[in-house]
Chain A
């Protein structure tokens, strides 16, 4: 593991008005890792990602990306830095075509031939998107929409990709496809991945390290394989 984390949360507090969603959350993510955050409903998983991206305001603490504080950086300035999120529930642009969705992912970029090449690359990762490139995003199936959301995020050329519940509402076979591609993105494009999942089993199998989030606090941090075999985790999150 290299010494400097690419993304670091230091004693982060955040929330929605009077509701405190995160209390003193500290995370470290090193380059090339796949880190999973697992936790129950309402534990603050999505809030963690939204706080990193600046959508949910940070109350206390600090967030470092490549050693630089991104606390005061506007959300729209993060993709150019290489930090991009695939939000929960996919949130693609339903009335725009698949291709337009992808082009929007490259919004901050101006290099047209390169963008075209990246679109082709996304189509090679997800052939079904290439087949449907003129179709409106909203007419895709859930799994295809998830692929589109990931493809759109890849268009920003992320160094760190934040994935929020990529398995949400999808059939097991599609989930496996998507997780294979996530592993591929991690390996072949040297993209660091922070994965938030309710499906703990799946997430920990894909991840190298994991954090357990409970009611806004980190309660456990370990290698993913050890977490998978931790009896308490198995009891609480893996249904045993």
Chain B
């Protein structure tokens, strides 16, 4: 026990002092120019006492004196793990599906609103997964395709009065074309260079949206986008159809849910198809993939276009829900958020990405009152994640899947 303590007490002390140094400028320097120490010291003492308890527990544990407690815990968690893995996947899938369907009935308006956000971001995240996770191309401007999709629907609807169901595929198509326009000249680049170009592209789209007054109404955005309309059979006065506008948030939730589920199915199928394998080969070693007969340029462009299509669909739905679009919604920060979701959840696992999206959308909502610290916590989480779980919350389980297949 003494030995373990000797090993790490220096590190611990340095870390706590470093934290104090970091904390003081945040808490001790006030906007009116005054300087104080009291608040910093109190907060620091709280953290110190908290971490000290963790520190002591860690030392006791690593010297093996906590075995009587940890062993049963590890055993039961292993048993649970085995049970879950042996359970056929349709059970938990149907449980999840039923839960998702019942969700808006059981909760209120605000949780449903958050859930719609989650579902839209799942589409975005999975689109980015095809580009960044499978093909390994760092895309910092993914939100641009979301914007293209949203604006396609908004403009076509408000200016030409075209309905949602016609615009929806058009939104996907225009995002796909945008993807190919960026993709075609830039996909010859690799790694960092591609990231910078996509970053630039994202900004270009935002600036165009901001300045093309005659088409996009600039920073004022486009108001009065119609929501989704579906034809509903009416029995009064004989059989006819009437247009039913999906205004209630709960109904809207189901559209988002269907889109998200379709996206999940599509991306899963891409993942385990020939295309997915080709994209992974490109990610691993582009030259080797080329030597093995993979048309790298074609597949990279395909990945880019597919990622863009999913984002475009999500964008159209976003515009229909908000009934308003403005360039504000498609900033670089949003791209970073989507990328963070993908990285946090695990670059190469679909359930991981879904978890990442939920974490990064729901947690900030839960901790609303701490909003000013959001970015700080966000950065800290990222650092901790990269240190302790570099492959994401749920790492890819490639081996398992392959065994099941063969």
Q: Which residues of A pack against B, CB within 8 Å?
A: 53, 55, 74-80, 84-85, 87, 91-97, 99-100, 103-105, 107-108, 134, 152-153, 156
Contacts and interface: CB of A to CB of B under 8 A. Distances in A.
B294 A76 contact: yes
Contact of B291 (A75, A80, A95): A75
Interface of B: 274, 277-278, 280-281, 283-285, 287-296, 398-399, 402-403, 406
B326 to A, nearest CB: 41
Contacts of A153: 292
25 contacts: A55-B287, A55-B291, A74-B295, A75-B290, A75-B291, A76-B296, A79-B292, A79-B293, A87-B287, A92-B285, A92-B288, A93-B284, A95-B280, A95-B284, A96-B280, A96-B284, A99-B406, A104-B278, A104-B289, A107-B278, A107-B293, A107-B294, A108-B293, A134-B403, A156-B293
- Which of B289, B292, B402, B403 has the most chain A CB atoms inside 10 A of its CB? B292
Nearest to A135: B399
A80 B294 CA distance: 11
Contacts of A100: 277, 280, 402
A78 B291 CA distance: 8
Contacts of A93: 280-281, 284-285, 288-289
Contact of B292 (A55, A94, A97, A156): A156
Nearest to A85: B291
Nearest to A54: B290
A97 B398 contact: yes
A91 B295 contact: no
Given A87-B288, A97-B402, A107-B274, 9 more contacts: A79-B293, A87-B287, A93-B288, A93-B289, A95-B280, A95-B284, A99-B402, A104-B292, A134-B399
Contacts of B281: 93, 96, 104, 107
Given A78-B293, A80-B293, A103-B277, A91 B288 contact: yes
A91 B291 CA distance: 10
Most chain A CB within 10 A, of B288, B295, B402, is at: B288
The 5 closest A-B pairs by CB, nearest first: A79-B293, A93-B284, A91-B288, A108-B293, A76-B295
B292 A107 contact: yes
B395 to A, nearest CB: 11
A105 B293 CA distance: 8
A95 B293 CA distance: 19
Contacts of B399: 97, 134
Contacts of A103: 277
A79 B293 CA distance: 6
A80 B289 CA distance: 14
Nearest to B293: A79
B337 to A, nearest CB: 26
